[in-house]
Chains A and B, each alone.
Chain A
Amino acid sequence: MHVEKAESESQRLSEEEANNLVVEHHGWAESIARSVARAWNLDWRLDGLDGAAMEALIFCSRRFDPTRGIPFKGYARRRIHEASTDAARKSKGWARASSNRPAAEVKARELSVELYGVFPELRDGQLPIYESSGNDDADARTAIRELLMGASLVATKEAIATGPLPDELMDYRRVVTVMASLEPVHQWLLYKVYWDGTSLRNVATEWETDGLNVMREHKVLMAYLQKSLAQGKPAPTPKVRPGLKPLVTKFKTAKGKGPFTDVLASTA
């Protein structure tokens, strides 16, 4: 145990090497903080995003293990981005904007924060593209459509939780009805992602299955949702792919008809 610990510590950089990493990457870390501030109309210095990004950079430089074969930027970006967004949400600028900006903008900002839980690859500076079709433009369009639909589902969840206005209730019931028509395992997939804010990769880990199984199934479910909502009634429900079949029995027996069937019953 002690030997293992000593070995893992010896893989880290010396203080001088770590300091060099900080010097080399501080401009890059600041650029991440600037991006976050720009998106949310904050001042990256006055609102403390620069300090948060720098702290995260120093932290990462101390923990970085070059023998793992991951480039430093790949290792540190998500943490620096997370530190910047956390600092943004705690800033005076954020609080001020919450009281004097239009309500839609305030809601949009809160919603955008939630999207990072569902699509964590955005923190790495990447769109949620799990498999490339070879056409970058089409892939970007598909990913953006997925982000929009994802944001809509998260907004639906929020609205149901806070009690929607009567004229909005019909829209939300329509969405939930479509999801409630799905197999329980499919319902759980969507529920975990959009209601619980778990990323697809984490769902795959939790279900002890290959990530691609979950990602491909999610893509099929989004296409089903789009088709069903566009035609105003549930489309033929997708079959469960072989890789997820072992979960079908588990969810059917252990967790009833599915979470959206329950949500639908509660909003009746």
Chain B
Amino acid sequence: MTKGKDNDKDKKVGKVGASDSTKGVRSTEAVSDIDKVKATSAVGRVSAVSGVGGAGAIGRITLDQRDRLMSIVSEEAAKLAAQGVIPNNQREIVEQAVKMVIDASLEESSEDKKR
């Protein structure tokens, strides 16, 4: 019996520890000065795209540049032949071949615009 009483004592809830106190919340810092937004400086005008312009950095060629490209081929072929870089007997064939290869590579730009 005595033993039973002892057991009851054991079951008593022990002292409840106090919960940790909340640490101090740091106060928010004052917002530091915001620089004024600087005025955008003048953006230089985009210069007009010349001649074959639009070919872009990767040299894309489209049908609307055809005439200009063909005339550059003729001009450069004439220069190279005059300098003796292209033998005269080859000039016609070489010029025609380059025109053909460019012509066959042109992208129809109107097709792009439709999409």
Which A residues are closer than 8 A to B by beta carbons? 27-28, 31-32, 34-36, 38-40, 81, 85, 104-105, 107-109, 111-112, 115-116, 119, 121-129, 132, 136-137, 139-141, 143-145, 147-149, 151-152, 155-156, 167-168, 171-172, 175, 225-226, 229-230, 232
How close is B45's CB to chain A, nearest CB, in angstroms?
Answer: 16
Is B92 in contact with chain A by the CB < 8 A criterion? yes
Interchain CB contact under 8 A, A31 and B80: no
Interchain CB contact under 8 A, B57 and A40: no
Given A141-B76, A144-B73, 16 extra CB contacts under 8 A: A31-B111, A39-B101, A116-B101, A121-B59, A124-B105, A127-B61, A136-B49, A136-B54, A137-B52, A140-B52, A140-B69, A147-B73, A147-B98, A148-B80, A148-B95, A168-B87
Is B50 in contact with chain A by the CB < 8 A criterion? yes
Chain A contact residues: over half helix, strand or loop, or mixed? helix
Known: A145-B76, A232-B84. A31 touches B97 (CB 8 A): no
Interchain CB contact under 8 A, B60 and A126: yes
Known: A137-B52, A148-B73. A111 touches B97 (CB 8 A): yes
Task: Pick from A85, A132, A226: contact of B104, CB below 8 A.
Answer: A85
Which B residues are closer than 8 A to A by beta carbons? 49-63, 69, 72-73, 76-77, 80, 83-90, 92-108, 111, 114
Inter-chain CA distance A92–B10, complex, in Å, is 109
Task: Pick from A108, A137, A140: contact of B97, CB below 8 A.
Answer: A108
Interchain CB contact under 8 A, B57 and A38: no
How close is B68's CB to chain A, nearest CB, in angstroms?
Answer: 9
A–B pairs, 9, beta carbons within 8 Å: A38-B104, A39-B99, A125-B105, A140-B55, A143-B59, A145-B80, A148-B73, A152-B86, A226-B85
Interchain CB contact under 8 A, A35 and B103: yes
In the complex, the 4 A-B pairs of residues with the closest C-beta atoms, listed nearest first: A39-B104, A129-B59, A127-B59, A108-B96
Interchain CB contact under 8 A, B96 and A104: yes
How close is A223's CB to chain B, nearest CB, in angstroms?
Answer: 11
Interchain CB contact under 8 A, B86 and A148: yes
Chain B residues whose C-beta falls within 8 Å of the C-beta of A108 in the assembled complex: 92-94, 96-97, 100
A127 (CB) vs chain B CBs: closest residue: B59
Interchain CB contact under 8 A, A171 and B87: yes
Interchain CB contact under 8 A, B50 and A137: yes
How close is A155's CB to chain B, nearest CB, in angstroms?
Answer: 5
Most B CB within 10 A of own CB, among A40, A115, A144? A144
Chain A residues whose C-beta falls within 8 Å of the C-beta of B60 in the assembled complex: 125-126
Most A CB within 10 A of own CB, among B80, B90, B95? B90
Known: A127-B61, A129-B59. A112 touches B80 (CB 8 A): no
A29 (CB) vs chain B CBs: closest residue: B111
